[in-house]
Amino acid sequence: MAQPFDAVLLISFGGPLGPGDVRPFLENVLRGRPTTPERIDRIASHYHAFGGVSPLTALTFRQARALEARLTRQGAPLPVFVGMRNWHPFLQDTLQEMSAAGVRRAVGLIAAPHRSFSSCEQYRRNVEAARATVRSRHGRAPDVIYVGDWHTHRELVAAQAARIERAIARLPAALQPRAGLIFTAHSLPEALARRGPYVRQIEESSGLVAQAVGLAYRVVYQSRSGRPEEPWLGPDVNDYLREARQQGLEAAVICPIGFVCDHLEVLYDLDVEAAATCREIGLPMVRAESVNDDPRFIAAWANAVTAVMSRYARGRPLPLHVSTGTPHSSVAGPAADARPAEPMR
């Protein structure tokens, strides 16, 4: 029986590839949002502090090549194409390339572990818009069928736990057993977060990883970008660090559980801003590396992809019509026999 899929489409945020890309990239990111010139200047300065290059694109391509190799080893050799929402390679260009290569049906994998409108549904809409453009110009575009939730996959949990253990080992030995584990995820407007399982899924992931390393934990948020008067998910990581230090926290281990690679929001918001806060308040801090292309993490992605392939092994998938609130179906379930650890209060 013919394989129902021809490729994988790995979908990510995108990032500037040089100083000249920063402003055009930010125009894409902020399109449709009222943003002051001062705020744009501030965000641009974050990118220029790292040479105007976001590591996201290079890391995403490393993840894609690792996923391709893993799928081949698992007997499911599919090419993995990368499409970005906000910068090159744009989704439309990637889908056009896929169509020209003869791809008719692809497994879609959005590089965000926790589901919200902005981390999932918006990307699906962008894919559909790109497909419509490619179809109007070339007569056809690949269908895209998405993987299910993978935020609690045992291999992802193992990869994140290993990163945390390596970070803890960088603390002085006397502080290691007294360190507090702090998970961060991108903040969202509270009203938007209530429309999906984002907060619940972050807590589920955090509980399982904390259990794996045997530490109490707290979930906090970073990278808030909205109007001051609009309620966003909190507490902010810097506010929490100050409060926890006053309450006796002796060392902080920060894990960016809401992100799958060390891109600029991790490097600036945690390695620069949060680290500066910790120096100011005299709090020893280490930051766990994101999962990046850790083989265990890539195994979680590969299992999510092959689960979709298995589901449709006996028949072709129907084209997907995206609507607001379209859920993932669960194909990569929780780690076996695991319950989340108790959070720090």
Query: Average pLDDT in the 298-307 region?
Result: 98
User: What are the structure tokens assigned to 297, written together?
Assistant: 């993490």
Residue 332 lies in a domain: no
Nearest to 25, CA basis, from 47, 58, 2, 3: 47
- Helix (H) / strand (E) containing 41: helix 37-48
Reported as a pLDDT band with limits 50, 70 and 90, residue 14 is very high
- Note whether 120 and 195 are same-domain residues: no
CA–CA separation, 144 vs 211, rounded Å? 35
Q: CB within 8 A of 15, min separation 6: which ones? A: 25, 53, 54, 55, 56, 57, 84, 86, 87, 263, 264
Query: Average pLDDT in the 177-200 region?
Result: 95
- Note whether 57 and 70 are same-domain residues: yes
Whether residue 344 is predicted with pLDDT greater than 60 in this model: the reply is no
CA–CA separation, 325 vs 95, rounded Å? 24
Mean pLDDT, the chain, as a whole number?
Answer: 90
Reported as a pLDDT band with limits 50, 70 and 90, residue 294 is very high
Whether residue 21 is predicted with pLDDT greater than 80 in this model: the reply is yes
- Note whether 208 and 74 are same-domain residues: no
- Hunting for tokens 């169509």 — which residue is that? 99
CA–CA separation, 273 vs 267, rounded Å? 9
Reported as a pLDDT band with limits 50, 70 and 90, residue 31 is confident
Reported as a pLDDT band with limits 50, 70 and 90, residue 110 is very high
- Note whether 144 and 23 are same-domain residues: yes
Question: What is the gyration radius of the CA atoms in the chain, in angstroms?
Answer: 20
What domain range includes position 188? 154-287
pLDDT digits (tens, 9 = 90+) for 212-253: 999 999 999 999 887 777 899 999 999 999 999 999 999 999
Whether residue 332 is predicted with pLDDT greater than 70 in this model: the reply is no
- Hunting for tokens 């010139």 — which residue is that? 37
- Note whether 282 and 227 are same-domain residues: yes
Residue 231 lies in a domain: yes
- Note whether 35 and 117 are same-domain residues: yes
Reported as a pLDDT band with limits 50, 70 and 90, residue 3 is confident
**Would you state the pLDDT for residue 343?**
55
- Note whether 252 and 222 are same-domain residues: yes
Reported as a pLDDT band with limits 50, 70 and 90, residue 317 is low
- Note whether 164 and 115 are same-domain residues: no
Whether residue 341 is predicted with pLDDT greater than 70 in this model: the reply is no
**Would you state the pLDDT for residue 233?**
96
Residue 342 lies in a domain: no
Reported as a pLDDT band with limits 50, 70 and 90, residue 334 is very low
Reported as a pLDDT band with limits 50, 70 and 90, residue 329 is very low
Whether residue 1 is predicted with pLDDT greater than 80 in this model: the reply is no
Reported as a pLDDT band with limits 50, 70 and 90, residue 22 is very high
Query: Average pLDDT in the 78-97 region?
Result: 97
- Note whether 165 and 136 are same-domain residues: no
Residue 193 lies in a domain: yes
Residue 29 lies in a domain: yes
Nearest to 342, CA basis, from 251, 217, 242, 225: 217
Residue 266 lies in a domain: yes
**Would you state the pLDDT for residue 37?**
84
Whether residue 338 is predicted with pLDDT greater than 50 in this model: the reply is no
Reported as a pLDDT band with limits 50, 70 and 90, residue 193 is very high
Residue 330 lies in a domain: no
- Note whether 242 and 307 are same-domain residues: no
Query: Average pLDDT in the 40-55 region?
Result: 94
Residue 336 lies in a domain: no
> Which pTM was predicted?
0.90
What CATH number does the domain containing 62 carry?
A: 3.40.50.1400
For 190-259, give the DSSP string: HHHHTTSSHHHHHHHHHHHHHHHHT--EEEEEE---S-TTS-BSS-BHHHHHHHHHHTT---EEEE-TT-
Say which range, 15-19, 31-35, 212-216, 230-234, has the weakest mean pLDDT: 31-35
- Note whether 278 and 182 are same-domain residues: yes
Query: Which has more pLDDT, 345 or 83?
Result: 83
- Note whether 191 and 113 are same-domain residues: no
User: What is the count of structural domains for the chain?
Assistant: 2
